[in-house]
């Protein structure tokens, strides 16, 4: 098993998804408003932005991706990483300490692409105003929870179709659905359905258009 110190000695490390069906069913995309509001005060801004960046990396390359440590450190405003005590390496260490990531072999880490809801011990670290907001969110979610999967799919497809109609592509629609707390698998399915539905509609519309130079019939009487 790799150690954090050995990661600091590398220029590039491999990033793999850390799959956890339970967390993925209940959790939140690292780029969601929930994470920005409630996890950021616990993890700190550097660690939160690192998780967001790694989520985007794995979204573009779902099986595995690689990051250049120095380049990523500078991109996050943490300067040139140099050694295990550099700010960037401390951010990586915090992802592991909070079980958002784990060592996954030589030069590799596994990273959650969905973060769990805050545990009670984490809530205690929030200011009172955010604890109150989180409690209200939980009560609201409980009151509207457990819609059938068919209802969630219907709602997701409607929202995805609206996003596509507004000019968003399939990937952007999927990301937005995840921000609205749709499960990643359902968000992907609904976004793909909406993109395919609009593509099929456009093709059908094109097929109905009369070829250039051929008169169009109106009613039962052909143009002369």
CA dihedral (171, 175, 176, 181) positive or negative: positive
Q: Which of 209, 18, 34 is nearest to 96 (CA)?
A: 18
Q: Would you call 206 exposed, middle or buried from its count of C-beta atoms within 10 A (0-12, 13-18, 19+)?
A: exposed
Q: Which two tokens stand for residue 139?
A: 């009560």
Which residues have a Cβ under 8 Å from the Cβ of 171 and sit 6 or more positions away?
Answer: 59, 191
What is the value of pTM for the model shown?
Answer: 0.64
| Mean pLDDT confidence for 107-127 | 93
Which H or E element spans position 141? helix 128-143
pLDDT at 151 over 90: no
Mean model confidence pLDDT for the chain: 84
* pLDDT category of residue 210 using cuts at 50, 70 and 90: very low
> Cα–Cα distance between 173 and 180 in angstroms, integer?
11
| Confidence at residue 205, expressed as pLDDT on a 0 to 100 scale | 72
pLDDT at 217 over 50: no
| Confidence at residue 218, expressed as pLDDT on a 0 to 100 scale | 37
Residue pair 105/47 in contact (Cβ under 8 Å)? The answer is: no
- Can you name the residues that pair with 17 across neighbouring β-strands? 111
Q: Which of 55, 51, 68 is nearest to 14 (CA)?
A: 68
Q: Where are the domains of the chain?
A: 4-123, 147-207
> Cα–Cα distance between 176 and 184 in angstroms, integer?
10
* pLDDT category of residue 74 using cuts at 50, 70 and 90: very high
Residue pair 113/28 in contact (Cβ under 8 Å)? The answer is: no
Q: Which of 94 and 204 is assigned the larger pLDDT?
A: 94
Question: Of 62-76, 140-154, 184-198, 205-219, where does mean pLDDT reach its minimum?
Answer: 205-219
Q: Dihedral angle at the C-alpha atoms of 98, 100, 104, 106, nearest 10 degrees?
A: -70
Backbone dihedral angles phi then psi of residue 48, each to the nearest 5 degrees: -65, -45
- Can you name the residues that pair with 108 across neighbouring β-strands? 14
**E strands in the chain:** 12-17, 65-68, 101-103, 108-111
* pLDDT category of residue 143 using cuts at 50, 70 and 90: low
**E strands in 18-117:** 65-68, 101-103, 108-111
Q: Which of 223 and 42 is assigned the larger pLDDT?
A: 42
pLDDT at 200 over 50: yes
pLDDT at 215 over 90: no
Q: Which of 10, 48, 2 is nearest to 29 (CA)?
A: 48
| Confidence at residue 220, expressed as pLDDT on a 0 to 100 scale | 35
| Mean pLDDT confidence for 201-222 | 53
């Amino acid at each position: 098993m790799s150690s954090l110190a050995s990661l600091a000695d590398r220029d590039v490390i491999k990033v793999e998804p850390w799959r956890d069906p339970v967390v993925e069913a209940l959790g939140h995309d690292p780029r969601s408003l929930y994470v920005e509001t409630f996890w950021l005060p616990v993890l700190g801004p550097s660690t939160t932005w690192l998780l967001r960046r790694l989520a985007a990396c794995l979204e573009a390359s779902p099986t595995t991706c690689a990051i250049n440590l120095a380049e990523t450190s500078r991109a996050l405003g943490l300067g040139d990483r140099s050694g295990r005590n550099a700010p960037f390496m401390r951010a990586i260490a915090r992802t592991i300490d909070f079980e958002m990531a784990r060592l996954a072999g030589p030069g590799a880490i596994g990273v959650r692409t969905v973060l769990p809801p805050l545990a009670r011990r984490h809530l205690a670290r929030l200011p009172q105003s955010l604890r109150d907001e989180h409690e209200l969110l939980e009560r609201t979610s409980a009151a509207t929870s457990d819609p059938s999967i068919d209802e969630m799919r219907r709602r997701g497809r409607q929202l995805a179709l609206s996003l596509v109609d507004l000019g968003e592509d399939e990937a952007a629609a999927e990301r937005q659905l995840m921000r609205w707390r749709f499960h990643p698998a359902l968000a992907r399915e609904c976004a793909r359905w909406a993109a395919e539905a609009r593509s099929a509609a456009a093709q059908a519309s094109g097929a109905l258009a009369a070829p250039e130079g051929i008169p169009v019939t109106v009613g039962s009487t052909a143009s002369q």
